[in-house]
Chains A and B, each alone.
Chain A
Amino acid sequence: MRSIKTLRTLYDEESQVVITEKGSPPRVLFSGEDFLLEDLPVGTRVLFPRPPMEGVPNLKAAIRWAINHPEGMEPLHALLRPGMRVTVAMDDISLPLPPMVTPDARQVMLEIILSLLADSGVDDVHLIIATCLHRRMTGDEMRRMVGGRIYDAFYPDRYYNHDAEDPDGMVQLGATEVGEPVYLNRRAAESDLLIYLNINFVPMNGGPKSVATGLTGYKGVQAHHNPKTIRDSESYMEPSRSALYGSNERINRVIERHVKVFHVEAALNNRMFDGPTDFLGKREEDYTETDRLKLAAMRFALSKMPRVAKNRLLMKVPAPYEVIGVHAGACEPTHEKILELCWKQYSVPVQGQSDIVVFPIPYVSPYNVNSLLNPLLLQVMGLGYFFNLNRGIPLVKKGGVLILCHPAFDEFDPEQHPSYIEFFHRLLPETRDAMRLSHKYEREFAENPSYVHLYRKGHAYHGVHPFYMWYWGENGRQHVGKVIVAGAENNHVPALMGWERTDTLTEAIEEARGFMGRSATVTVVKTAPVVQADVRL
């Protein structure tokens, strides 16, 4: 029988770290549209997300309080004059993930702000979705995000997606002190007031990135969406150590010299699962008999469904996120306050790095809502997002092994990701070098008229977007010694990525131990929801 002391070490209610021992239950891990049930080797460290923080009891009151008590700016009502031109920009469908239950936090913010604008005699109001080079949202998605009443009143003339390729819709505002050109959506640039509504899902979002990236185009993001900036960023999640953040900050300063910007930012809790899937938010030690039955039923049902059907089903399940705080006002102080909340919710302290780290990859990423997670997005989830969810010290040791749990299927959505297909099948067989890809092919893809057209008129990510996905994984690629995809259903996808594959997670851990040594330490990160590993050496 285990002593209380041992139990405390192995399973500490306060700690989000559990060490696997002989009697530990098998872990439920995402693997695309499926769930693995894996017995992990004894000694494996498992990182769990923090339990969801309490949501604000009255969201409308919290938003009103924030816009009436802003950080570093006058209250919103004091900035409004009758007849002025106001643009409200907001994040697109890439945040949060999966899309939250309605009403979306953006809808609640808009309901309060639009009524304040109307009361202040401001009629010239446009709502713009700050897509940058992301795909245009569909009418149904736009309706869901802001609610039927606002949609009917504003769509399509005054509620629309940003178009970074509209030659008349963009304006150059100058350049930063280090020569980064600053381009902005013309409507936003020519407004008397720009209000930006952000939902902060991971700390690298929001702040100066909202306007400086969300409302610009290819020439604008070229300044920081490149392999060099990615390599120069020690930590994406900390403004002071991120070259990406620094560049956005400089660009934002130029923008704010031309247009007054009022930021409203909200932080969400970790409550990703509810109702029939609420057990996924628990530790396996806490599963009841009902939870086990639900898991077995879900795995059985998913195993009988084709992938597309599974994907559609899972995409239809919204997350019951709650807002844990709202702040408003000037860019920097507002974002700082929101970052504090994000850290409080996502940060999990961890002692020391691991030789082997396992990331279960779910079916959804910021770039495939209502679509499939293609191989390049699998790459960006593993080597981009999950690898970088830390404060400068990655969870995996330099030269260590990263194991991704995913089928790594060779499927692309030609409607959302047409240029990804060419990137994957034409460019990756030639080189995986981000610098070479950038110099040789980036412009060709960015200017391909078919891709430009599909971005502007269809619902496709911009032609250059797969390059950004590849750059995003750059630091992860430089850091790890090997990547293994556990459960990959083919050989060629991992081979094109420069990875290895195994049929099961157990085999992957065995292979990784063969590479790192028998005493190699293993950490499994139980995502989703978001876990930000605060590694102490």
Chain B
Amino acid sequence: MSSKAAFFDVDGTLVRTNIVHTYAYYAMNSGGLRRIAARTLGVAASVPLFGALDLVDRKTFNEFFYRYYEGLSEDRLVTLAEDMLEDVLAPALYPSAKDLIEEARRSGCRIVLVTGALDFTILPLARHLGADDVIANKMQFVGGVATGRVVPPIIEGANKANAIREYCVRNALALDRCHAYSDSASDYAMLAIVGRPTAVNPDVRLRALARSYQWPIVDLR
């Protein structure tokens, strides 16, 4: 049993897609033509709003964005998630992402994906990458239909760090021996909480932080 883990953010770190891409896939495969058109156009029209919200706060953006799932059936989402791996996520994996995960596994780490995406979306990818565990957001379903609300706490920013800490306690892992990988300064808490943080394909803010704290910078692109 490993005594350390490697926590990987997914969107932008391992794959070049984000949660808007995955929702767009669901929207474009959501049944009748009218429904497809309504959902797809709705997402397209809201893109500027998404951008503005993401700039303000990742948590607000996630909460707002997941409302678009309202009314989608659980069965369909789970089935589509399997297809989405093949059509969207696997082709969007960065060329060296699997190597980095393999190197972490070889050094004795458990592989854990930590993402603000929804769990049913990420589980097929986790299987594909051979991850041991997933920490992701959970959509609330009532009668097999998505309510558009996420079971709290929303996994993002500081909550990612809390979830990692709890995961380590539950699994008797030494936090200071663990590794974390992310592309975004919004994951600063997740990176700062482990002993071995690494900036992956970092944005401008995270690159500056990584330089200041002397964290390694890896480019998987």
Contacts and interface: CB of A to CB of B under 8 A. Distances in A.
B211 interface: yes
A449 B214 contact: no
B53 interface: no
Interface string B95-135: 01001100110111100000000000000000000000000
A414 interface: yes
A415 to B, nearest CB: 8
Interface in A420-436: 421-422, 425
B80 interface: no
A450 B211 contact: no
A450 B108 CA distance: 13
Nearest to A456: B99
A83 B37 CA distance: 63
Contacts of A414: 211, 216-217
A69 to B, nearest CB: 46
Best-buried of B96, B104, B211, B218 by chain A (most CB within 10 Å): B218
Nearest to B211: A414
A366 interface: no
Nearest to A425: B214
B196 interface: yes
Contacts of B106: 167, 447, 449, 452
A422 B196 CA distance: 10
A458 interface: yes
A449 B104 contact: yes
A449 B211 contact: no
A451 interface: yes
B62 interface: no
B194 to A, nearest CB: 12
B198 A450 contact: yes
Contact of B214 (A421, A448, A453, A458): A421
A454 B96 CA distance: 11
B218 A454 contact: yes
Contacts of B166: none
B136 interface: no
Given A449-B179, A458-B219, A422 B214 contact: yes
Contacts of A450: 100, 179, 181, 196, 198, 216, 218
Interface residues of A, number: 19
- Label chain B's interface by main secondary structure: mixed
A457 B211 CA distance: 20
B75 to A, nearest CB: 38
B96 A451 contact: no
A452 B218 contact: no
A449 B107 contact: yes
A473 interface: no
A451 B108 CA distance: 15
B170 to A, nearest CB: 23
A447 B99 contact: no
B6 interface: yes
Contacts of A214: none
B211 A453 contact: no
Contacts of B99: 453, 456-457
Interface string B183-221: 000000000000010100000000000010010111100
Contact of A451 (B6, B181, B211, B216): B216
A76 to B, nearest CB: 38
A384 interface: no
Contacts of A421: 214
Interface in A283-309: none
B211 A448 contact: no
A418 B107 CA distance: 18
Given A453-B100, A453-B103, A456-B99, A447 B108 contact: yes
Contacts of A448: 107, 179, 196
Contacts of B218: 450, 453-454, 458
Nearest to A451: B216
A454 B100 CA distance: 9
A453 B211 CA distance: 18
Interface string A255-291: 0000000000000000000000000000000000000
Contacts of A180: none
Contact of B100 (A422, A425, A449): A449
B216 A452 contact: no
A447 B2 CA distance: 14
A449 B6 contact: yes
Contacts of B104: 449
A449 B194 CA distance: 14
Nearest to A422: B214
Contacts of B216: 414, 418-419, 422, 450-451, 454
A421 B215 CA distance: 9
A165 B103 contact: yes
B103 A449 contact: yes
Contacts of B214: 421-422, 425
Contacts of A422: 214, 216
Contacts of B196: 448, 450
Given A421-B214, A458-B218, A458-B219, A453 B96 contact: yes
Interface string A442-485: 00000111111110111000000000000000000000000000
Contacts of A454: 216, 218
B217 A452 contact: no
Contacts of A418: 216-217
Nearest to A460: B216
B216 to A, nearest CB: 4
A411 B99 CA distance: 29
A451 B215 CA distance: 11
Contacts of B217: 414, 418
Interface in A145-195: 165, 167
A259 B179 CA distance: 40
A530 to B, nearest CB: 34
22 contacts: A418-B216, A419-B216, A422-B214, A422-B216, A425-B214, A447-B107, A447-B108, A448-B179, A449-B6, A449-B100, A449-B106, A450-B100, A450-B181, A450-B198, A450-B216, A452-B103, A452-B106, A453-B96, A453-B103, A456-B99, A457-B96, A458-B219
Interface of A: 165, 167, 414, 418-419, 421-422, 425, 447-454, 456-458
Given A452-B103, A453-B96, A458-B219, 11 more contacts: A414-B211, A419-B216, A422-B216, A425-B214, A447-B106, A448-B107, A449-B107, A449-B109, A450-B196, A450-B218, A453-B103
Nearest 7 pairs of A and B residues by beta carbon: A449-B103, A449-B104, A447-B107, A450-B198, A450-B216, A421-B214, A418-B216
